[in-house]
Amino acid sequence: MKKKELDTRLIHSHFDRQQHHGSLAHPLYQTSTFVFDNAEQGEARFAGNESGYMYSRLGNPTVTELEKKMADLEEAEEAVAFGSGMAAVSGVLIHLLKSGDHVLVSEGVYGCTYGFLEMVKEKFNIDFDLMQMSSEAAIKERIRPETKVLYVETPINPTMKLVDLKMVIKAAKEEGLRVVVDNTFSSPYLQQPLTLGADFVIHSATKYISGHGDVIAGIAAGPAEDMQTIRMTTQKDIGGVIGPFDAWLLLRGLKTLAVRMDRHCDNARFIFEKLKEEQSVKNIIYPGDKNFAQHHLAKSQMKDFGGLISFEIEGGKKAAQAFMNELSVVQVAVSLGDAESLIQHPSTMTHSVVPEEDRKKMGITDSLVRLSVGLENAEDIWQDIKQALEKAYMKI
């Protein structure tokens, strides 16, 4: 039987309603622990001789439903749900690395990922280098004998630069390296790195997977053997687990991922075209721009161009903040992928942990703002941006 399309699987995959008394919605198993029929059953489950649930840090039926669905959507053997995106990032990297190892990281990586890499470098002697990953030759030139992992964001936060996944994966495989891709900005609806040969995919599920701004969560997906090891070591012992209610909210959010992503993408296209007409806006960074240096790469490895636009405000930090302070429909907040349009100032917010010199190399200037285009009426979003630009320049 032909496998159903992704937008159908978002709603129906891996849910046997007959096992849940015919419930249309996924049940919520809001419990910390599970009762055994007898002492022998408890012994058998802890010994691994009998399947079943014991304690929600070790597994929960609602969480299992989410993990199965995310594995299906990312074409992975198995997925593990975490209490945050950074718990997923750190869980996978701790699993793959040990003291003395080295990681190559796409330049412009999320600020907290950068902070985690700095921490393990200082405490555990795990080194890393940031690079543009522009070609196979450039990558291979930076690989050391101790390099074990290529860590990639694409599109990169907040500069929207893309990494050619096929090229990076080919280079990594020839050198025996594992490839980890942060797929947060795209969601599995727009991009599926594992189908291109990546080993692991990571999401801050807080963003598009949830879509409603009410969950902190993370997802990692990859080979079953690795994911089972992560589940029973890194996650279990450090404790970055997701609660069943958050997993239930993500299952609810996933049902509308396809229609939400289509609206995000359509609205972003509209806003981009309007921004091009504004003299006070410069250096608009949007993969859907035909003049964007990597536009053709975006067309080849993404289904659509996403809901994020970064751009610079003429006049530096003062002008950028003045503009943000005049917005009313668009909310000043970090995060992305919510129903609400959100705007943030990366150099003083999400990437403030990154040293100024590194930020500038990444292209993160004090003039740069990052807009997550929401689900509101596109004309209303634009009118809010336009009036804020006009008021800001009257005040500075």
Domain co-membership, 189 together with 278: no
Residue 77: alpha-carbon gap to chain centroid: 19
Phi then psi for residue 204, to 5 deg, are -80, 100
- Asked whether residue 268 is domain-assigned, the answer is yes
Total of domains in the chain: 2
The 10 Å Cβ neighbour count of residue 332 is 14
pLDDT at residue 396 in the model: 62
Q: What is the pLDDT of residues 337-348, one digit of tens each?
A: 999 999 999 999
Q: What is the dihedral of CA 389, 266, 376, 258, to 10 degrees?
A: -150
| Boundary-marking domain end, from 207, 231, 254 | 254
- Write down how long the chain is: 396
Active-site residue (options: 7, 9, 55, 57): 57
Strand partners, 182: 153, 202
How far apart are alpha carbons 143 and 161 in whole angstroms? 21
Domain co-membership, 370 together with 236: no
Domain co-membership, 202 together with 324: no
How far apart are alpha carbons 300 and 281 in whole angstroms? 28
pLDDT at residue 66 in the model: 97
Domain co-membership, 250 together with 285: no
How far apart are alpha carbons 170 and 196 in whole angstroms? 10
| Boundary-marking domain end, from 254, 270, 297 | 254
Kindly report the pTM of this predicted structure.
0.93
* Annotation marks residue 182 as catalytic: yes
Active-site residue (options: 53, 110, 114, 189): 110
Domain that holds residue 174: 6-254
CB 175 within 8 A of CB 147: yes
Q: Report CA-CA distances (Å) from 196 to 1, 92, 151, 199, 286.
A: 24, 19, 15, 9, 23
Active-site residue (options: 164, 182, 289, 304): 182
Residues of the chain falling short of pLDDT 50? none
* 70: CATH: 3.40.640.10
Retrieve residue 254's tokens. Answer: 């996933």
pLDDT at residue 1 in the model: 67
| Boundary-marking domain end, from 254, 287, 304 | 254
* Annotation marks residue 57 as catalytic: yes
Domain co-membership, 212 together with 272: no
Active-site residue (options: 148, 207, 263, 269): 207
* 355: CATH: 3.90.1150.10
Q: What is the pLDDT of residues 6-54, one digit of tens each?
A: 989 988 887 777 777 788 888 999 999 999 999 999 999 999 999 999 9
Give the chain's end-to-end CA distance (angstroms, integer).
Answer: 64
Domain co-membership, 117 together with 192: yes
* Annotation marks residue 208 as catalytic: no
pLDDT at residue 111 in the model: 85
The 10 Å Cβ neighbour count of residue 326 is 19
Q: What is the pLDDT of residues 83-131, one digit of tens each?
A: 999 999 999 999 999 999 999 999 888 889 999 999 999 999 999 999 9
